[in-house]
Amino acid sequence: MLNPDLVGRTFTSADSVTVTKEAIQKFAEVIGETNFDIAPPTFAISITLEKSQSLLQESGLDWTRVVHGDQRFEIKRPIVAGDVFQCSSTIESARNMAGNEIVSVRSDLISASEVVVSTWSTLVVRA
């Protein structure tokens, strides 16, 4: 059960993440993308998921029971190799439905105080 006091709070990662060409290539190759100069549209999840996972685990969620409900991306400009991001995550809501806990998390990838990509994930924690 998520601590309700955490809803609405924003957590910014202490460490920054540098995007490498290798990371883009590895992700791109899985989906058959041959352009490695620009990250594929869902690449941001490879950064934000890990950050939001550790945040939610620290907040008391059992990650092994988490199922992804939905996902949204807003991409202000494409991610490229060399980008250095801070990841800022906010638990926007948490509610209980039929015994399952439904948590919405927004994560922003921020470079030089500009939001480059925003992601919204709805996670369902199965009872």
Partner 1 sequence: MNKIEIGAELAPKTFNINRKLLLAYANASGDQNPIHQDETFAKSVGLPDVIAHGMLTMALAGKYLSDISGSQSVLEFSAKFIKPVVVPAGKDVSLIVSGKVTDVVEGIAKIELLAMCDEIKVLGMAKGVIKL
In a 3-state reduction of DSSP, which class is residue 90?
Answer: strand
Binding status of residue 78 toward partner 1 by CB under 8 A: yes
Q: Which residues contact 97 (CB under 8 A, 6 or more apart)?
A: none
The C-alpha angle with vertex 1 and arms to 95 and 101, in degrees rounded to 5, equals: 35
d(CA 52, CA 37): 26
* Interacting span for partner 1 (CB under 8 A) from 10-18, 72-80, 81-89, 96-104: 72-80
Query: Shortest Cβ distance from residue 1 to partner 1 (Å)?
Result: 19
Sole binder of partner 1 in the list 9, 21, 26, 95 (CB under 8 A): 26
SS3 42: coil
Query: Does 64 sit near partner 1 (CB under 8 A)?
Result: yes
Smallest distance from the beta carbon of 102 to partner 1, in angstroms?
13
54 binds partner 1 (CB under 8 A): no
45 contacts partner 1 (rule: CB under 8 A): yes
CA quadruple 10, 66, 104, 48: dihedral, nearest 10? 50
Of 5-13, 67-75, 88-96, 98-106, the segment contacting partner 1 by CB under 8 A is 67-75
* Listed residue (46, 116, 48, 43) closest to 77, CA to CA: 116
- The answer to the question of residue 29 lying near partner 1 (CB under 8 A) is yes
Question: Among 6, 75, 81, 102, which residue interacts with partner 1 (rule: CB under 8 A)?
Answer: 75
